Structure 1
């Protein structure tokens, strides 16, 4: 098993255990691949959910840039919902898992079709 496959398995476990969600493995794999080399970097592989600047970056680069959503207050509501699902007290929030949650929240799975 390659490094990416190991990470995808770890992300699936996070979705099951921390989020209480049975992941769509095909979508999780595509979201993980979409994160690019960031998944291999300790700092870039996680989302600092307590930093407003990080959440703004997620909104601009992922929700607007990747998923093609229009800017509006519902984007931050979606981010807050993902934080709540992952567990606000959960210190390590993997970017691929966070993006998976956002993709499902906004019903944009087709972006990865």
Structure 2
């Protein structure tokens, strides 16, 4: 979870009380992409990068159906807000966009049931009939 804490600190630069579970969910979603500095950051001046944010994050992951123009305007507004930060962390950008569109709660998975409760919920396996020892 140390990785999530690092990204949480960056999100806190822009959001006073971020949803820690949502940040952790975004970190899990991005996974291995965060290991590479280039893919861990968003270039606010690269049209292809901004299109990728719109298509992969806003449309695919958050399932937004707004027009491309409306989505692009939200992305540009965020880039303007973050213009003083040369390193626009992808986790922060994704978090703030999800917050803007009211999708943070959808990123947080409900707590998993304890293992004992899961075991009780499973029906007991039916006993297999014994195979006959003698074949004719």
Report TM bin, short chain: 0.7 to 0.9
Contact 2:4 2:23 in 1 (8 A): yes
> TM-score under structure 1 normalisation?
0.84
Per the normalisation by structure 2, the TM-score is: 0.71
Q: Does 1:61 align with 2:48?
A: no
Q: Which runs of 4+ in 1 moved over 4 A?
A: none
Residue 78 (structure 1) aligned with residue 64 (structure 2): no
Question: Is 1:13 aligned to 2:13, yes or no?
Answer: no
Distance 1:6 1:38 in 2: 16
The size of the alignment, in residue pairs, is 107
Question: With CA pairs under 8 Å and 6+ residues apart, which has the higher RCO, 1 or 2?
Answer: 1
Structure 2 counterpart of 1:102: 97
> CA-to-partner distance for each residue in 1:47-85, whole Å, 9 max, x for gaps?
111111100111011111111111512101211232233
Greater helix fraction, Structure 1 or Structure 2: 1
| Structure 2 residue matching 1:69: 3-state secondary structure | coil
Q: Is residue 40 of structure 1 aligned with residue 35 of structure 2?
A: yes
Write the distance in 1 (CA, Å) between the matches of 2:72 and 2:16: 21
Pairwise CA RMSD: 1.5
Structure whose alpha-carbon radius of gyration is higher? 2
**Where does the alignment leave 5 or more consecutive residues of structure 1 unmatched?**
none
Q: Which residue does the alignment assign to 1:23?
A: 18
In the alignment, structure 2 segments of 5+ residues that lack a partner are 109-136
Superposition deviation, residue 46 in structure 1: 0.7
